[in-house]
Structure 1
């Protein structure tokens, strides 16, 4: 039996795909009772507690807000490894620090449970379609066991190395997206002020070497129409991930100045009226000159 804990924006669609595609049973848990609505018609069973998932499931997937929640669900007094019956495997689909992933793996191993980090990338729509990109950190034997299950939710699944390496790749992926979004936003504002309509700019650049995933998705779908909905990926989430990247950079002796600049831009976005809104809203901060450069935190004003 598969267990699934965390039925949020990404977890709900992932659990639904597992429930539809897995030939065996799926048991799910979330603290929000409304989250189970997405699983209606799939046959997925609803668990009353994390402990019930631990008692019944052999492999448990997690989709949680961050490292502290993963640690609590795995290792807390009412967690998956607390009772006499424990799952054999826990796979974390969340984004956490690399150190957290490796620490959880060590502590679970002491209790006879193996752990893999397998953070996911792409959009909620991709999660609904089962077309996520998944970056897994696991030894070869464990990866061989979980890969068929990850294929229920991902069209691209990559073993990145031993435990923790999935988080390394995911954090680098996210940092590149956040940095690229700031750079594109700045150039869209520059182009418009210099007389080029944003739609024309994106069309032209998309045909050249400046094309990117960010341009085709965040640029066209959010920054061009200036639509930044709530309940998408807000600047606060970007700040969490960038903080994780800077922690990893510090641990490895890298001075990650571009990450630091992106962090300041998203901090300005979150404090400048766009908290809780889609993170490409950073273009609004740049357009009105309220970015970190304008406040004197990073060189001469140019934002």
Structure 2
């Protein structure tokens, strides 16, 4: 028996991450009703037997549990409360799970507003990139009430290989902000290290191989270090997304009168690439700033 064969789920946001996540839920037996801002992405999934609808409200009328994987905080608000948004069709005792990276303050406000409609809200951002989304090996960090988390767990078991209930509403997004600070700075560190190796006359591939055996070893060095060496910047996680996440982390820090100087510099480097029209490249393309390309 498939794990989710008795579930009817809504899914909104079918980009790099959302599409494979949706397909994994479908393959686990769930019935999916999907919506995407660009209709063509949703229509493509109809070939797999997934129903697409024209508005978020139609998704809400068809499913008690709805997952969101949209671009940013304004997009989440639009899907929830905008014209033909989810709030127009929500069922009482429904559950909405935001699996994108959304600002903490608005996340808490969205949860309060939805509670007035008898709907639970869980913030459950993920780490692992497109590879993790495809393989169902995402790391999921969640905030929300225990009963809502328990309802979401069967879905998380399909989508990820590691799950942590971090705390109350917003705690998942706090964890994701911390994650993105580490990811952004780690990409910067690998980019600087490999650029230094090349300029000093060593083979970056051999340097990476040596470093993988010591304390400098990391998933970033493994995956993104190889991308930097190969010059393969097809997006698994876009520069624009990384920059947005770093900006949100800086805004969260400012709320608590905290300065993150390395994070601020890292965000500025990503902004340089965006200004050069390279925002749709993989975030490992940060090395292009150092190489002067």
The structure-2 alpha-carbon separation of the partners of 1:11 and 1:245, relative to structure 1 and needing over 3 Å to count, comes to: same
Query: Contact conserved, 2:136 with 2:161, CA < 8 A, in 1?
Result: yes
Query: Contact conserved, 1:76 with 1:82, CA < 8 A, in 2?
Result: no
Higher normalized contact order (CA 8 Å, seq sep 6+, divided by chain length): 2
Match of 2:69 among 35, 54, 63: 63
Tell me the equivalent position of 1:80: 86
CA deviation after TM superposition for structure 1 residue 66, in Å: 0.8
C-alpha distance in 2, partners of 1:84/1:247? 31
Deviation track 1:248-286 (CA, whole Å, cap 9, x = no partner) reads 101122111111111111112222353321222221211
TM-score, normalising length: structure 1: 0.89
C-alpha distance in 2, partners of 1:128/1:51? 27
Tell me the equivalent position of 1:295: none
| 1:15 equivalent in alignment to 2:19 | no
| 1:108 equivalent in alignment to 2:122 | no
| 1:238 equivalent in alignment to 2:248 | no
Task: Look up the SS of the partner of 1:48 in the other structure.
Answer: coil
Query: Contact conserved, 2:57 with 2:90, CA < 8 A, in 1?
Result: no
| 1:162 equivalent in alignment to 2:171 | no
Structure 1: tracts of 5 or more residues without a match: 291-303
Please list, as runs of the form range in 1=range in 2, the aligned pairs for 1:121-140 lying within 5 A after superposition: 121-140=127-146
Query: Contact conserved, 1:55 with 1:86, CA < 8 A, in 2?
Result: no
Tell me the equivalent position of 1:25: 31
The structure-2 alpha-carbon separation of the partners of 1:86 and 1:9, relative to structure 1 and needing over 3 Å to count, comes to: farther
Q: How many residues align?
A: 286
Structure 2: tracts of 5 or more residues without a match: 1-7
TM-score, normalising length: structure 2: 0.92
Q: What RMSD, in angstroms, separates the aligned Cα atoms of the two structures? A: 1.8
Query: Contact conserved, 1:120 with 1:133, CA < 8 A, in 2?
Result: yes
Deviation track 1:53-85 (CA, whole Å, cap 9, x = no partner) reads 111111111110011111111122421112474
Match of 1:262 among 263, 266, 285: 266
C-alpha distance in 2, partners of 1:94/1:38? 22
Please list, as runs of the form range in 1=range in 2, the aligned pairs for 1:118-197 lying within 5 A after superposition: 118-197=124-203
